[in-house]
Amino acid sequence: MVAGIDKFREHFAGHEDHYAIIGGAACDLLFDAAGLPFRATKDIDMVLCVEVVDPVFGTAFKAFLDAGGYQARERSDGKKEFYRFHRPSDQSLPFMIELFSRKPGALDLPEDAGLTPIPVEEDIVGLSAILLDEGYYDALQAAKRKLGSVKIIDETLLIPFKARAFLDLTARSEAGETIDSKTIRKHRNDVFRLAQLLASDTSIKLADPIREDLRKFLELAQADETLDPKAFDVLLTRDEAIDLLRSAYGLHGRAG
């Protein structure tokens, strides 16, 4: 379980419509609910739902940072707006909280919040590309669910999100950027971990561009003879997981 999730849940009770937890923290909560283990994660990645964010949420968020003694408070500039808060003095809280907003200025933090410029890193850039895509953002809104009094996106969209992140980071690595291979593999492996949460008769509808991204991911996974999900504690073989995913997302037909 993500450290501090209970305190986070308690503090943000009543604010669930303002955000959605994504990434490893959402995976961790889903796996915990299913009684399955997930890889260690100590961060919370959140997407601000800009349509409903208000100053009350900003004040509540700053109060959480102050109470937890978060020492580093960083913010990016420009169209891609990120916030990162880490190094809390209260070690029982999440080690890092990252937020992303599609709309600059959406998080109305008080002026004394102590924000500093944020360094750009590979995972952040990848997330921005995904969430600035209207199709993915609309899908995120549809896939939100409440789990244990926090708002997350469920496995039906976490799988395409992770697949797209893998594709983006792989392409940038092949273009010459320095990308940590562990980061790339993390997203790939999480797709196979999440596949375990899908029932055999699951049927999930996605917008065509998202379906095609997932199709490309599965084609790459199918071609990777070294990929063995059991090496990272997935109970399915590579081919079993790929077949399940293709069936769940209607990808057995020809590419469109």
Euclidean distance between CA atoms 64 and 44, whole angstroms: 14
Three-state DSSP class for residue 23? helix
Q: Tell me what pLDDT residue 9 has.
A: 92
Euclidean distance between CA atoms 15 and 139, whole angstroms: 21
DSSP assignment letter at 86: E
Of the two residues 161 and 2, the one the predictor is more confident about is 161
Give the number of other CB atoms < 10 A from CB of residue 208: 9
Euclidean distance between CA atoms 180 and 130, whole angstroms: 19
pLDDT tens readout for residues 227-244: 999 999 999 999 999 999
Identity at 14, one-letter amino acid code:
G
Q: Tell me what pLDDT residue 84 has.
A: 80
Q: Tell me what pLDDT residue 198 has.
A: 96
pLDDT tens readout for residues 109-134: 666 665 554 444 555 555 555 666 77
Euclidean distance between CA atoms 141 and 145, whole angstroms: 9
Of the two residues 219 and 72, the one the predictor is more confident about is 219
Beta bridge partners, 71, equal: none
Contact 41, 27 (CB under 8 A): yes
Q: How many helices (H) and strands (E) does the chain have?
A: 9, 8
Euclidean distance between CA atoms 55 and 57, whole angstroms: 5
Q: Tell me what pLDDT residue 56 has.
A: 84
Residue 81 has pLDDT above 70, yes or no: no
Contact 211, 250 (CB under 8 A): yes
Residue whose C-alpha is closest to residue 82's, from 65, 99, 60 = 99
Q: Tell me what pLDDT residue 211 has.
A: 96
Domains and CATH numbers, the chain: 5-131 (3.30.460), 154-248 (no CATH)
Report the half-sphere exposure of 180 (CA within 13 A, side-chain side). 8
Contact 75, 95 (CB under 8 A): no
CA distances from 49 to 12, 57, 137 (A): 14, 11, 10
Q: Tell me what pLDDT residue 256 has.
A: 44
pLDDT tens readout for residues 151-160: 999 999 999 9
Q: Tell me what pLDDT residue 111 has.
A: 66
Residue 254 has pLDDT above 60, yes or no: no
pLDDT tens readout for residues 2-47: 788 899 999 999 999 888 998 888 999 999 999 988 887 878 888 8
Q: Tell me what pLDDT residue 50 has.
A: 63
Identity at 219, one-letter amino acid code:
E
pLDDT tens readout for residues 166-184: 999 999 899 998 889 998 9
The widest CA-to-CA distance across the chain, in whole angstroms, is: 55
Three-state DSSP class for residue 101? strand
